[in-house]
Structure 1
Amino acid sequence: MQVILIQDVDNLGGKNELVNVKNGYARNYLIPNKFAVEASPSNLKMREEKLKVAAKKEAALLAAINEVIAKLKEAPVKVGAKVGTTGKIFGSVTSVQISKAIREQKGYEIDRRRISIVDEVKELGSYKAAVDFGNGNNAEVEFEVVAE
């Protein structure tokens, strides 16, 4: 029996996927638990419409992500840190500080958990951080540590 999955099912498939399963599995487990619907002609048309809408949303999201990536690569972000007389930073620059600097200087809100710093930052200078936007979209952001 062919069914259309309404949500992700382990070891079977993902949302809006058309799969073949045994009749008993579909009628006794997938359909009653609202994991799937029968693949009737009307349900197949609805699936196609959902896939078109999802593709449009993904294209819009990708365009927005590319715009953010382009803005982030324009100029390095300046991160202020307290510095001793030898040029060493008190503590270290964290992803929280980078996220805050991006929000203030570029106007984009990026979650600190999506930012990973490539090198340990203990002195003034230029460094790089990786930003993961999800779905395989990554960007490298340059930031400059300056004295406050």
Structure 2
Amino acid sequence: MEIILLEDIGGLGKRGTAVRVADGYARNFLIPRKKAIEAVGNARAVFKDRERARVALEAKQRQAAERLREDLGKLSLQFSVEAGEEDQLYGSVSSHEIQDALAAKGYTVERKSVRLAEPIKSLGVFEVPIHLYEEIEAPVKVWVVRK
């Protein structure tokens, strides 16, 4: 059976290529899991239309992420917290607080997008990367000061 791959599959080929596979492999595995479509009739034209729409959507999302990166790069957040004598915080500043502070300034990001290895537990200035899209990250300056 001839199929068109909807994603890269090791040993078969790259996304968008037409390949011949065993009927059972196509019907029982690839097609039900949306990894391929059967190459009949206008399937190639339908695939090309879907691919064009996907590429346009990705370009739009990438462009929005680039604009957001520029905005977030200029942004700095300040947290006033209780701290001990040696500048150790009595609590911590976590990705959740950073997400809330960004939301208060009008930027919607998911909590998992805030790339904080561990919560901030001392006073100082920190640069926290915010993951926006694939390889696009925006550094946000976070100031943690004594209350």
- Fold agreement, TM-score > 0.5: yes
Give the residue type in structure 1 aligned to 2:60.
A
Aligned length in residues: 146
Runs of 4+ in 1 over 6 A off after TM superposition: 7-11
Structure 1 residue 138 corresponds to structure 2 residue 137: yes
Q: Please, which runs of 5 or more residues in structure 2 have no aligned partner?
A: none
* Rounded Cα–Cα distance in structure 2 between residues aligned with 1:87 and 1:28: 63
Q: TM-score, normalised by structure 2?
A: 0.78
Match of 1:78 in 2: 78
Query: Structure 2 CA distance, aligned partners of 1:80 and 1:124?
Result: 9
> Which stretches in structure 1 are left out of the alignment for 5+ residues?
none
Matches within 5 A, 1:39-78: 39-78=39-78
1:76-125: per-residue Cα shift (whole Å, max 9, x none)?
122232234654321221111111111112x1111122212257633322
User: Aligned pair in 2 of structure 1 residues 19, 94: CA closer, same or farther (>3 Å)?
Assistant: same
Q: Say what the alpha-carbon RMSD is for the aligned residues.
A: 3.0
Partners in 2 of 1:28 and 1:119 — Cα distance? 46
TM-score w.r.t. the length of structure 1 is 0.77
Are 1:6 and 1:34, in contact at CA under 8 Å, matched by a contact in 2?
no
Structure having the higher strand fraction is 2
Question: Structure with the greater relative contact order (CA < 8 A, sep ≥ 6): 1 or 2?
Answer: 2
Q: Secondary structure at the match of 1:83?
A: coil
